[in-house]
């Protein structure tokens, strides 16, 4: 059997750990051959490949990024995209695909599955917003990076009696902000799911200053003020229709300065949250996902995504992963609110 592997969408730590586990088990236990598709769906679309064997996957477990490359290519937005993918897979004698990605990459996988392509999905995203899995790999690493940044910002904020705003990723879901904010002892956490009141944020800022402690505010890039709109970098859309975010942190800093008279500065963590080595948690989760994905292929269980439920790795219908986003439950947010101000 010849299996194609691809990684699509925004990269995240742990992608290489999945690739390594898929290849290691596939070669050693099942005697399969692998083809690495370059740059997400662009690989099968344009026939861009690289060798993927035991040698190619040695030493990659701790490495960030993806040895296969990634892109946000959407074959459904390209003329004859699906036909070209099918033709290339047939030409290269590829029997099945393992697609490692988030909502966009797995959304494409779901549609291709319904059009007869044999595919198994693996959930990745630092945002942790894929449905029907408790966690995606990459999330834990990115939370830890954000917490380290918050710890560092606490000491400088206190020295200068400033408010410091930390803008983290999270387009629609505030998982990174929530977890990093709780772990980092934030004075408040602002997430896309719940529009925030500027008055309330300023009250929390002032109360933190009153206790002689400088406030750290963790805000997700997709957070929205009650009286305003989502702030975007520009109006360009990617091939899945997403705008580029970032800017809400700067907006909030000026609004806080204006209303409280206290100095406020912003640190935007941006792609730092996606780079570098995965945490041990993400390496183990990614490895287990990879092992389960190749077993699914071996058992002919296509149209599925591997998923974490509790401590078990299960298989769920691919479509269930992307039918809706997994958003932060207001009850969880309420737990964090006890510590605001
Ligand atoms: O989807 C993951 C993510 O990291 C989002 O949180 C963020 O909005 C987006 O990717 C940024 O993507 P890009 O790499 O295209 O800037």
Q: What are the pLDDT digits (tens) for 145-196?
A: 999 999 999 999 999 999 999 999 999 999 999 999 999 999 999 999 999 9
User: Could you tell me the pLDDT band of residue 265, with boundaries at 50, 70 and 90?
Assistant: very high
Domain 2-137+278-322 matches domain 141-275 at the CATH topology level: yes
CATH class of segment(s) 141-275: alpha beta
Q: What confidence score (pLDDT) does residue 204 get?
A: 97
Q: Which CATH architecture has domain 2-137+278-322?
A: 3-Layer(aba) Sandwich (3.40)
pTM for the complete prediction? 0.96
* Integer Cα distance of 240 and 289 in angstroms: 25
DSSP category for residue 134: S
Q: What percent of the chain has pLDDT over 90?
A: 93
CA of 11 to the centre of ligand 1 (A): 8
Which residue has better confidence, 313 or 244?
Answer: 313
Q: What number does the ligand 1 atom closest to the CA of 221 have? A: 8
Given the CA of residue 242, which atom of ligand 1 is nearest to it?
A: 8
Domain spans in the chain, listed from the N-terminal domain onward: 2-137+278-322, 141-275
If pLDDT is split at 50, 70 and 90, which confidence band does 330 have? very high
The tens digit of pLDDT for each residue in 12-32 reads: 999 999 999 999 999 999 999
CA-125 nearest atom, ligand 1: 2
pLDDT digits (tens, 9 = 90+) for 267-311: 999 999 999 999 999 999 999 999 999 999 999 999 999 999 999
- Please identify every residue annotated as catalytic: 127
Ligand 1 centre to CA of 211 (Å) is: 36
Task: Confirm if 265 and 164 have CB atoms less than 8 A apart.
Answer: yes
Rounded to the nearest angstrom, the distance between the alpha carbon of 12 and the centre of ligand 1 is: 10
DSSP letters spanning 214-272: --EEEEETT--BTTS---EEEEEE-TTSPEEE--HHHHHHHHHHHHH---EEEEE-GGG
pLDDT of residue 231: 82
């Amino acid at each position: 059997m010849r299996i194609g592997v691809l990684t699509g969408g925004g990269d995240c730590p742990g992608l290489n750990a999945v690739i390594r586990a898929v290849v290691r088990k596939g070669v050693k236990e099942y005697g399969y051959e692998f083809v690495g598709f370059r740059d997400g769906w662009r690989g099968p679309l344009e026939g861009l490949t690289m060798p993927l064997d035991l040698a190619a996957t040695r030493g990659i477990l701790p490495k960030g990024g993806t040895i296969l490359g990634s892109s946000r290519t959407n074959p459904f937005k390209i003329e004859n995209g699906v036909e070209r993918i099918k033709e290339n897979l047939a030409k290269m004698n590829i029997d099945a695909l393992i697609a490692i990605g988030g909502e966009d990459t797995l959304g494409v996988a779901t549609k291709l599955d319904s059009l007869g392509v044999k595919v198994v999905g693996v959930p990745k995203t630092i945002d942790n917003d894929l449905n029907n899995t408790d966690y995606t790999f990459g999330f834990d690493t990115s939370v830890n990076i954000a917490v380290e940044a918050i710890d560092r910002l606490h000491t400088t904020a206190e020295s200068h009696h400033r408010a410091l705003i930390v803008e983290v990723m999270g387009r629609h879901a505030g998982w990174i902000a929530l977890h990093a904010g709780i772990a980092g002892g934030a004075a408040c956490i602002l997430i896309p799911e719940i529009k925030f009141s500027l008055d309330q944020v300023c009250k929390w800022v002032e109360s933190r200053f009153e206790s002689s402690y400088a406030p750290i505010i963790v805000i997700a890039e997709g957070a929205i003020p009650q009286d305003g709109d989502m702030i975007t970098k520009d109006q360009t859309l990617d091939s899945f229709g997403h705008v580029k975010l970032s800017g809400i942190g700067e907006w909030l800093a000026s609004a806080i300065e204006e209303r409280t008279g206290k100095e406020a500065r912003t640190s935007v963590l941006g792609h730092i949250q996606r780079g570098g080595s995965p945490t041990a948690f993400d390496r183990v989760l990614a490895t287990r996902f990879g092992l389960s994905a190749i077993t699914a292929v071996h058992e002919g269980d296509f149209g599925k995504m591997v998923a974490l439920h509790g401590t078990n790795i299960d298989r769920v219908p691919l479509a269930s992963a992307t039918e809706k986003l997994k958003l932060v439950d207001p009850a969880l947010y309420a737990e964090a609110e006890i510590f605001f101000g």
